[in-house]
Amino acid sequence: MGDTGAPTSTERSALLDAPDTSHLAVLDTLLSTHAIHASQPRKSLWLTTHLLALPPLYAYWHITALLPSWRPLPTWSIKRTVGIKLIRYVSRTFFVGNSLPRPDVSQELTKSQLRELERYAARVVWIPPVDLEGVGEPVRGWAEGAGVRPERVRGFWMGENVELPADQEREKGKVMLFLHGGSYIVRPPLLPPQLHLTSKQTGSGHPAQLTSFLPLQSLKHSLTLRAALGIDYRLSATAPNPAVNPFPAALLDALAGFRYLLSLGFAPGQIIIAGDSAGGNLALALVKYLVEVDQLGALLAGLVLLSPWSDMTDSHHSPACSLVRNYRTDYILGLEAGMGTYSVHAFCRHVSPWSAWVSPAAKRPSPAGAASTIGTEGEAAAAAKYPEGTFLHWPRTLLLPGEREMIIDEIRTLRTRMERDGVPLTYREWDGCPHDFLSFWFMEPERTEAVRFVCRWVDEVEELEVPVVPGR
């Protein structure tokens, strides 16, 4: 394929050096300022008081959103305004109470959970682990250094039974490999519109998850998509919990899912890789591997990125950054809660967050501003050590963020770099929408419109219109 954009020998040697953990001390300091109640009675007291406070707060939020001028955006409905507050409140309550939902993705489903899948015409599949000897560098070296071993991967098929040997039309149509969001530490929220939780909700790639709206609805609206495979990749954790599944555990699981599709007989040109939020970050890493190591990336049917997390450093932080200016129009926990810091600490225990494999949109600091921007001289040195993310020979890509989300700045940097490197890119910021807006019931009609937009792109409709966001 000629120049694939793969790291040079010099870059590879830098990537395979002893793990750069200078960032962990900085993250430890930041986490120490944010309480996580892991022991009793503080944990129960925190959860009880905050859950008991939710009903009156819910009523209060409705009252304070009665007039359009009282809402974050006058065009928002009361339902949307309250929904944003609800997601942030519940996320913070369970994060600080050390009770975020984490499925055990190694367990077989119970009979009742299998019956739950029937509601979605979905099937569970156990995907064989990748052979670590068959994984290229630098990923294999990272896995060995971190003590990460390949494991079998749970997945959920949605759509046609393309996985069956009797399928006679495997060469026709497309399949979607879907990677869910959740900050790499939590399964997506399971709150339906009625705000009920059920005991049958089982895991991250499960079709009952809110983030599964994209694959489920894409199967309804696309003319060429036959099935979707949601992957239950391993989630990370760190203190006060046992430290487990750092990078590249999730990448090995995603790679196992991709190779499983190849083993069924699907060609790369039939596979759409899609991910939202942290799943978008994982999709970026997977495609980077396929481009730079397996040299398959340009052959893919496409890459769909919904609000991808693309910078795990603080390189986009400033008093005027989108984390600050879009705080009221999004539900992501801000810098006050430490959830992002926790996620990076758990995920990047053996690799620097400055690596383009985890932060393809990170901006390198200027020498004059390195200390104030990065926080320590060690972090500035780590930033200089890792090459900036590049996207040579990448497949056609759809990048779809919410215009009002808190990480829009880094997504715009990602867009700029993809355009610089010649990626066949379709980009649209959905006006007035928060992070990962396709996942939430209060984001209609925009999320259904967005799914139809995605499906026209998947189907390669020539008349695809890409509205321009004013001022962009």
pLDDT of residue 27: 66
Is 222 among the catalytic positions? Answer: no
In the predicted model, residues of the chain with pLDDT beneath 50 are: 1-18, 189-203, 368-377, 466-472
Whether residue 267 contacts residue 363, with contact meaning beta carbons closer than 8 Å, is answered with no
Q: What is the DSSP letter of 358?
A: T
pLDDT of residue 26: 65
pLDDT of residue 362: 94
Sheet holding 225-232, edge to edge: 123-127, 153-159, 225-232, 174-179, 271-276, 302-306, 397-400, 425-427
Q: What is the pTM of this model?
A: 0.89
pLDDT of residue 138: 94
Task: Please list the residues that pair with 225 across neighbouring strands.
Answer: 174
Distance, CA of 36 to CA of 98 (rounded, Å): 6
Distance, CA of 186 to CA of 203 (rounded, Å): 9
Q: What is the DSSP string of 29-44?
A: HHHHTS----STTHHH
Q: Which CATH architecture has domain 9-19+110-458?
A: 3-Layer(aba) Sandwich (3.40)
Give the residue extent of every domain in the chain.
9-19+110-458, 37-97
* CA-wise closest residue to 125 among 161, 81, 85, 77: 161
pLDDT of residue 107: 80
Of 183, 277, 307, 322, catalytic: 277
